[in-house]
C-alpha cells in the first residue's frame, strides 16, 4: 500500500488523476456482488483516487456535476475514507484528501468483525444543513437515497477494477460520529468496505 499519511489534521493532498477502466457497463453489472471476506492488502493511492472519483467525483467541470446524482443538487453527502493510518475526507471539487483523524478508526465503522481489518471503509455522511427547502422528516430519506447512488457507483467501479466491496448499514452511528468529530447537523447514512477479496 502506498503510504500517504499527512502529519497534521486539516492538511490536504491532491490525488492523482483517476485512470479509466476498460470494462463495459454490462460486464461490470454482471460481476457486481457483495463480499465480506477481505485480504489485509491495502490500496494504492492511484486505486483510491479512481475509486473516489467513481463514487462521487466531478465529471462536468463547468457545472461542477458529479458522477452520482444528488436531490436538488444539494451535494450533501461527504465521503470519509477510513484507513489503518488515518481518516480522510474526500473533496470532489479539487479531488483532494483532507486528514480528519490520525490513527486507526476502522473498527468503529461497523458492527461486523471484518471492518476492523479490511483496508478501506468509506463512510457516507449527510450534512443536513445543506438540505434546504424540504421538510426535516424527509431529509434522512433523501440523504439515504443519494448515499445509495454513491454506493452503487462504488460497486460498479470495484467490479471493473477487480476489487471487492459491500455496503453496510450495521453501524453504531453515535459512536462513529463521535470518533469522526462530526457536528450535530451531520448524520451517517451508510458505510462501505472496499479491498481485495480473499480467494
Whether 1 shows a pLDDT value over 60: the answer reads no
Give me the chain's average pLDDT, please: 94
39 has a pLDDT exceeding 50: yes
CA distance 14 to 43: 16
Strand runs labelled E in 30-169: 58-60, 65-66, 77-82, 86-91, 96-102, 120-127, 164-168
pTM here is 0.95
d(CA 68, CA 54) in angstroms, rounded, equals 8
pLDDT at position 141: 94
Per-residue model confidence (pLDDT) at position 24: 93
Lookup: cell for 87: 481518516
Per-residue pLDDT at 65 exceeds 70: yes
Q: Which residues contact 10 (CB under 8 A, 6 or more apart)?
A: 98, 99
Q: What is the pLDDT of residue 2?
A: 44
Amino acid at each position: 500500500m502506498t503510504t500517504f499519511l499527512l502529519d497534521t489534521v486539516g492538511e490536504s493532498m491532491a490525488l492523482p488523476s483517476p485512470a479509466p477502466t476498460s470494462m463495459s457497463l454490462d460486464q461490470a453489472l454482471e460481476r457486481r456482488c457483495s463480499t465480506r471476506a477481505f485480504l489485509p492488502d491495502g490500496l494504492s493511492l492511484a486505486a483510491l483516487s479512481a475509486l473516489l472519483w467513481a463514487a462521487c467525483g466531478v465529471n462536468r467541470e463547468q457545472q461542477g456535476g458529479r458522477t452520482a446524482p444528488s436531490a436538488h443538487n444539494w451535494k450533501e453527502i461527504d465521503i470519509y475514507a477510513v484507513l489503518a493510518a488515518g481518516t480522510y475526507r474526500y473533496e470532489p471539487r479539487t479531488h483532494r484528501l483532507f486528514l480528519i483523524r490520525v490513527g486507526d478508526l476502522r473498527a468503529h465503522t461497523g458492527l461486523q468483525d471484518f471492518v476492523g481489518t479490511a483496508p478501506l471503509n468509506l463512510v457516507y455522511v449527510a450534512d443536513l444543513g445543506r438540505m434546504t427547502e424540504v421538510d426535516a422528516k424527509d431529509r434522512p430519506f433523501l440523504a439515504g437515497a443519494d448515499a445509495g447512488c454513491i454506493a452503487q457507483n462504488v460497486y460498479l467501479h470495484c467490479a471493473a477494477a477487480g476489487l471487492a466491496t459491500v455496503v453496510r448499514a450495521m453501524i453504531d452511528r453515535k459512536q462513529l460520529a463521535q470518533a469522526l468529530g462530526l457536528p450535530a447537523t451531520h448524520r451517517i447514512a451508510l458505510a462501505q468496505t472496499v479491498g481485495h477479496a480473499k480467494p
